Amino acid sequence: MIHSFDALILGGGAAGLMCAIEAGKRGRRVAVLEHADRLGKKILISGGGRCNFANLHCQPENFLSANPHFAKSALARYPPAEFIALVEKHGIPYHEKTLGQLFCDRSARDILGMLEAECQSAEVSIFLNTRIHQVERATEFVVHAADAEFRTPALVVATGGLSIPKIGASPFGYDLARQFNIAIREPWPALVPLLLSTEDRSHYSDLAGVSTEVIASCASQHFREKMLITHRGLSGPAILQISSCWKNPHRVMIDLAPGIEVTARFRDVKIPRNLTTLRSELRKFLPQRLADRWLDLHTPASWTNHALADFENQIHTWSISPAGTEGYEKAEVTAGGVDTDELSAKTMESRRVPGLFFIGEVVDVTGHLGGFNFQWAWSSGAAAGRAL
């Protein structure tokens, strides 16, 4: 069976659905081809099931890319306010959790339901369980699926990254880009827990579950948020954020007591300089088990000012050399992807292959933790959808 559409969107996730809605609203005959048995599976598991769908403080600085300017145009033309207006039009209750992060009050199903309803009113055709075998380009793009063929002058790749393969992630988008000689920035797992080296693990893994506020730094980026010790390494928002900037063999620097001088009281000559006092000072700023372990491993060599200064310095500059990350199985997103130099920042269309568009996570634009990755999906999806 042969189908013809004005535009075909490969991948029915956040970016693909937004693109379909925008193009459908403008009267384009659009189809979404999705290989899974339902749309938007990642939306459903996002934000712990409540979908952190946007961030009130969204800025271009919240995105990592080889070209930090690339995302600006799409974000300016489809800012968080537009998506929030859509959420409000559908009467979806939501709240700001922290740091501008907007979550559904009820469930991520509300966001997916809204996108599906918008697709329906824009008369978007949806093809589920559709495995794509081959894409060719003659005068039009021809997409061969198992039992159908689709023809279109405009093909939008919205198949996401490699994160969470068990719910449908595939390298399809990167493979298609390579097929058309479009450059890729080597992908890597991002927003992902870090694994500690064997030695560090032997020191800290029994503290799994302990969390504290830190500043994590790497490659001139730094994040002040919670860090969580796990059985295999480190997690929590500060670590997930910094993981996006980390590449082997970089080191990650952790300030365990941001803005605090742990040894300040020792300036008072009446305060006894001994382990008991130092332990009780440290316990004021760190969870007790972590404070005790830190002191066991970093007992000051003596009680001179110099030794205390060294102790202070170590707390603010814990330098770890991660053994790796938990990988795509646990990564919230995939960094890297289709090189932005290949795309128009206004429309997401390939400069090399007219009619071919890339949107969402498959592109080398990765948001910080906090609703920014969905924002990129909505903004890049809308940019392409309005250009179709």
Q: Which residues bind ligand FAD (CB under 6 A)?
A: 10-16, 33-36, 41-42, 45-47, 51-52, 132, 158-160, 163-164, 168, 170, 172, 332-333, 360-361, 371-374, 377
Please state the φ and ψ torsions of residue 288, each to the nearest 5 degrees. -55, -45
Q: Which is nearer to ligand FAD, 156 or 210 (CB)?
A: 156
**Burial of 48 per CB tally in 10 Å (0-12, 13-18, 19+):** exposed
Q: Between vectors from CA 29 to CA 376 and to CA 162, what angle results, nearest 5°?
A: 35
Only one residue has tokens 């306010």, namely 81
Q: How far is the CB of 50 from ligand FAD (least distance, A)?
A: 8
Q: Which is nearer to ligand FAD, 28 or 35 (CB)?
A: 35
Q: How far is the CB of 342 from ligand FAD (least distance, A)?
A: 17
Q: How far is the CB of 163 from ligand FAD (least distance, A)?
A: 5
Q: Which is nearer to ligand FAD, 78 or 372 (CB)?
A: 372
Q: How far is the CB of 352 from ligand FAD (least distance, A)?
A: 21
Q: Are strands 155-157 and 7-10 parallel, antiparallel or unpaired?
A: parallel
Q: Which is nearer to ligand FAD, 244 or 263 (CB)?
A: 244
Q: Residue 249, preceding bond cis, omega within 30 degrees? A: yes
Contacts of 129 by beta carbon, 8 Å cutoff, 6+ apart: 34, 35, 36, 37
Question: Which residue number places its CB atom closest to ligand FAD?
Answer: 13
Q: Which is nearer to ligand FAD, 58 or 315 (CB)?
A: 58
Q: How far is the CB of 195 from ligand FAD (least distance, A)?
A: 18
Q: CA torsion angle for 167, 172, 177, 178 (degrees, to 10)? A: 130
Q: How far is the CB of 19 from ligand FAD (least distance, A)?
A: 9
Q: Between vectors from CA 77 to CA 219 and to CA 333, what angle results, nearest 5°?
A: 40
Q: Which is nearer to ligand FAD, 148 or 297 (CB)?
A: 148
Q: How far is the CB of 131 from ligand FAD (least distance, A)?
A: 7
Q: Which is nearer to ligand FAD, 45 or 301 (CB)?
A: 45
